[in-house]
Every structure is written in structure tokens, then in C-alpha cells.
Structure 1
Amino acid sequence: MNAKKASLLKDQGESSVWKKNNIAALEYCDLHRAAELLNCRVDDLLHWAEIGAIELCLKFSGLKASLKHIELSSKYRRNPAEWIRNRLTTGYFDKYLATKNNQLSGLMPIIGPEPKINDDGTFEQEFYFEKPLPALICHIFGVWGLITFRHDNFFASLKSSGKTQVTGLNLHLKPADEDLTMDSIRLQPSSELFDEFDGLMQPAQTLFTITPSDLFITRKQIEKIFIHDGKVIPNYINGGVDSPQEIAPSAVSEEINLNKNMLGGLIDMLICSVPELGQDVANASTNKKRDLLEAFLAEKQKLNHLVDYSIPGYDTFSKYFKN
């Protein structure tokens, strides 16, 4: 018996959620089916997702997305094609390519019509990247984990109103069930689908609206809930897990000056004009400023104010300010 089969059998113990329900394990299912299996409510699943205890997913069949990686915005910023070639050569992308059948999350980079022929006779495939901070443009397939932040209103809206609006700014994705590290790939909808300035001067453009029925949960997350039956499950509140924004970014090797249009100065002026924010927030570091604005917006939305607005992700927000 090989190691993989032995591991699978070990995971299927007598007390497993699958044994209890007399069914073979499901690799993923929707929230309503998961609630039946776990003898809980859909709102319980949304609550555990909101506090970071579990990961929920959306399923895609070809959404155009931009793939981000810390090295693309630093070491390979001037030559992103070299990054993708190196990663393909080392097999880094093997587990993500949609041509494989053994993964939950799949992607397919968008490539040029014909490979470039170099002087030495070798072929070089052309890939497409978004600018100014390079992001590989691709199509995504299968289930992808939602990255949400501590003050997000994403799951709270699903619980309170039964739906939430997905924009290019509040949809952050990662491969399902993978730990989020600095070497992780992260995806957002391609900027072709929305205006990246939305959410700063006007409400972010809605790409689509989802309900709890559109969400999925993987076998790993179902089993995590089951083994904590009647116990405290690690989450943001009890300090058992770290929220994504608490993962400190690596040092960027080059200074990136993207404040050419002085939009950052305009944002700081507007911040100073809000009594609850003021000069202290305007003078804060870029990441701290975003955290404070996100917390301020979350408090306003609890009062049903500014509900159509969202704070851009860290990558987008940092573009408007000098380092």
C-alpha cells in the first residue's frame, strides 16, 4: 500500500463525519449540504468563516483574473515574464494548471497566439500581465478560497441580508485549503472587469451578487469543524489564527514610486476633513492608514451608513501613496 492510500485510510477513522453520515467523503459541497452533515445551520458556517476559523470558497468556470505574487511586485517587477518561466520550469504551477485533474483550484494563463522564436532556435511563450505592478492574467476554474480580512463586512452581509455584492476590490482569492504565506499566489478579478479607482471616489462597481447558496466548503474544512464539535475552534478572536493583514510583507528590493497623479495627497486631504479621522490618520503609514480606514468604514456600516463602499486591498491602496 503506498503512502498516499495509507494516509487516506488513516483520515477515515471510525469517528469521522463521513462515517457518522454513512456516506463516502465529499471533496467539497455547498453550505446547505455541509450544514446537514454537521448538524448545524448555514449561519453557523458563515460565522465561523467571518471569525477566520474556516475557509469558504466560490466556484468558477473561467473567470478572468489577475494573479499576484510578492516577487512580481519586487524582484521581477521589470521582467515578469522571467518569473513565470522560472516558476513553470521548477514545476511550481503544476498543482494549479487546469489541465491537471487532481486539484480543487485550477488556472490557465492567457498566452499569446504564437511562441516567439529566439535567435538560438528555442521557443518562448508570450504571457500577458497587468500593469503597473505586474499581475499574470489568467482564467480560473474550480473552487477557490476566499481571503477576507478581520473588519470585512463580506460574511456579515450574507448573514444579515442573505446576499452580498462582489466587487473587484473585495474579492480576494487563494488556492483552496492552502495556508496563506508570502509565497502564496493571490488572485483578484482582472482590472479589465472593473475600474480600480472605484471605491475611493465612488462606490465600487458590482461584478455579481452572491447568496449563501453560491458558497462551497471543502472536505478539509468540514472535518476541521467536526473534530471541534463541542470545543472552542481556533479563530481571530481567541488568537488561534492570524488574519491575512497580519502577515508582514517581505522587504521590496526596489523603491516603487507610483504617486505620479498625486491621488494620495487628495485622499489625505479628504481624511483630514473627517473629524473622526483627522491628521493622525493622514500621517500614518500606508498599511496602518488602510487598517484605520477599514475599521472606520466597518463601524459606519454597522450603523447602516456607507454600505455601498469598500476599502481597496493593500496592493491597490499602496499605489496611491509614496513609500
Structure 2
Amino acid sequence: MEPIDDRIMVTGGAGYIGSHTVIELIEAGYTPIVVDNLSNSSLESLKRVEEITGKEVEFHNVDILDEKALDEIFETRNISSVIHFAGLKAVGESNKIPLKYYNNNITGTLNLLNLMDKHRVKKIVFSSSATVYGDPHTVPITEEFPLSATNPYGRTKLYVEGVLQDLAASDPEWSCILLRYFNPVGAHPSGKIGEDPKDIPNNLMPYVTQTAIGKREVLSIFGNDYNTHDGTGVRDYIHVVDLAKGHIAALRQIHNKKGCVAYNLGTGHGYSVLDMVEALKKASHRDIPYQFVSRRKGDVGSCFADPSKALKELNWKATHNQDDMCRDAWNWQSQNPNGYRD
């Protein structure tokens, strides 16, 4: 199926999920225009996207807080819709510097939306998060669950969701899709791009792979007293390529449906931290020493999706299993022990 509109602004497009989505956009026939301030990403990721796809990627080193520079891109590039990834995303860090999170994630998004409104670009796919469900009382989680947040990062996602819902309710021309991600892992099967946190990782898998390759002596597992099958936290880990494909499905839907709709992007299966450690051991043929430490503030015991709405309305579902995720995560880490700095 050919895309209806061509030029897609991708904020945060040099990041982990963004760079994988740029590949899928190119392969689906779209023209991504990447806007990223490189604060937690690397230009090398886009160079490798170009190697993988054989296409040049247009890149603008612009912060979404820079209204003037962002306005110029809208002015000159004939954007048809926006996929909005740009934002700070570490749960632990958000507890320590909440103002920075509110300023970047909320003020930055308001800047973006004001300019979209000005230039009549009224289609947006927003990178939300399962953190908007707070501490769910039951699993699996459907999109109708009550929303709350247990940390400032989650609150920024919840707030932006509310803004987009209000916007769509106020103006029938707006079409907004909220994609609530569960836990992205894995890497492109080429091993050329993957997750490369610049500082302390905020997701489990880089800790596990960095321990397997010897960059970390021991993996710290936060909490072993949750009400789960082995006491460690259970999450819905989803392969980043499946997640990227979810954005293509959302873009196609955005032309058919006005208003604001939320979709879970997950597999519908929960794996514990120890389950993932064992799967990565198998993929890497390496030992992964670990120790239990106290729970992190804001973490919940069990969190996995009911992804049936995305299947029904977007015709999307995850196709990679736990072994695929760990194989590709290890393939990326073993080829790039120091990430893009190699």
C-alpha cells in the first residue's frame, strides 16, 4: 500500500526507537525529516540507517524548545505529519530533576503543536508509554484502564496525552494517535543500529548485554520481592523493529480516522528480569553475574499489554519472540561493544 502523504517530521529520530522507525518509514516509501538535538543520541545512527537503506536521510540538529529553528523547518519542508519521539525518558532521573523533564517533554511538545497548528500540519503520532497506567491492579492492561503516573516522566506523558485529546476535541481537523509502548528491546537484525545510552542506561537490556560483554562486573536487579513467579519485576518486552512497524501502521490509520485514539504496543506476554537474563545467557553463551538490590522508586511489579485493539484497528501485531529480541540485542552489543563510539 502506497503512503498517502510523503514527508514525515520525526522528532528524536536519531534515538533508539526513532532510528529504527526511520528505516521502516523509508522502506514503506515515506520521506523522513529527522529533527534531533543529539542530547541522548548519535548522528552515527543515521549514517548507519543510510547504509542499511541506501537512502540519504535529511537531518536537522534542532531542539524542539527552539521555536524559531523548528518554525523554519515547517516553513520550508512541506511536512504532512509528525512522529514525535523527542523527550527525556529515564524514570529514575525524572525523580531527581523533575523540572527539566516538565520543561523538555511538555514545553517542547507545546512548541511543536503550536507550530503544527500554525502550518496546518494536524496529524501526529505521539510516543507515549505504558507508564501512563501507573501501578495497574490487574494485567493484561487494556487502553480503557484508569490512567495515573508514579513518576515525573510518566506524568509528562500523561499530560501530553491530555493536551492531544483536548486539541482533537477542539478542532475536528486534528488526528492524533497515542502509542503506549511497553518495554522496547533488541536491535535491527543487521547489528548496525541498536540501543546506545550515552550515560546510565534506563532500560534493562543494555545493563544485561553490557554485563555479558564484560563492560559491567555485575548486573543489579532492582527488587526480588515482587508478587511475581520469581520475585523480579515482570514486563512486556517488545522488539524495537515490531515497535517501529507500529508507527507505520499508525501513520496509515491517521488518514482514515480523526480525533485522538490510544493503542498499546506490546506483545501481550510478560517476562521477568530473570527470564530475560536467562534468555540473554543463551543467546550470548556468556555468564551474567547479578545481585539483587532494593526496589527503585516508582517501579511496579507486573506490567504487560492487551494489544488486541492495535491488531483489530491498525492491523498490527508483534511478530518477534523473546529469543529474537535477545539474539538481536546481543548481535548489536557484540558488534558494537562501545555503541556508536566504536
What is the TM-score with the length of structure 1 in the denominator? Answer: 0.26
Higher-helix-fraction structure: 2
Greater radius of gyration (CA): 1
